[in-house]
Amino acid sequence: MISPRIVMYVGLGALAWTFLRRYWNRQKAEPKHAPIVEDGVVPGIDRNGDDAYCRVSLGAEDAKAGRSLEVPSIEGPHRIEVPPGVKDGAKLRLVGLGFKRPDGKRGDELPRQRGCSHH
């Protein structure tokens, strides 16, 4: 006869193995340094920690001359000034426009010129 204690230990072991297997599968599936996309926050915004990322498109003439550009942000569209001569793939840092940290401060937003998904 199998004792109830053995059945309990086998059940707990199976449950622990299930949780451990799920954890390992999640670790394999999620790249460590890729931005995390949070659905329903703001369309066009990716999240990596407390920083927000968006992609903007800018033509060669506009990049050469500089331009005022509207980018998506958590609080709605935000207008920025792109300096003249900006290069492809440049990152501009918008301080304090990212996601809230536990201490109440906010991360930054980093519009990337490459990607051409927003005008």
pLDDT digits (tens, 9 = 90+) for 70-95: 888 888 888 888 888 877 777 788 88
Please provide the DSSP assignment of 89-111 as one string. Answer: T-B--BTT-SPBPTTS-B--EEE
Q: What is the pLDDT of residue 117?
A: 38
Lowest-confidence range among 34-38, 42-46, 62-66, 107-111?
A: 34-38
Kindly report the pTM of this predicted structure: 0.54
Do 98 and 109 form a contact (C-beta atoms < 8 A)?
yes
Which tokens is 79 given?
Answer: 């207008």
Q: What is the pLDDT of residue 41?
A: 61
What is the residue extent of each domain of the chain?
1-30, 46-112
Say if residue 31's pLDDT is above 70: no
| pLDDT (average), residues 34-61 | 72
Q: Which of 98, 63, 96, 55 is nearest to 81 (CA)?
A: 63
Helix (H) or strand (E) holding 52: strand 51-55
46-112 fold: HSP40/DNAj peptide-binding domain (2.60.260)
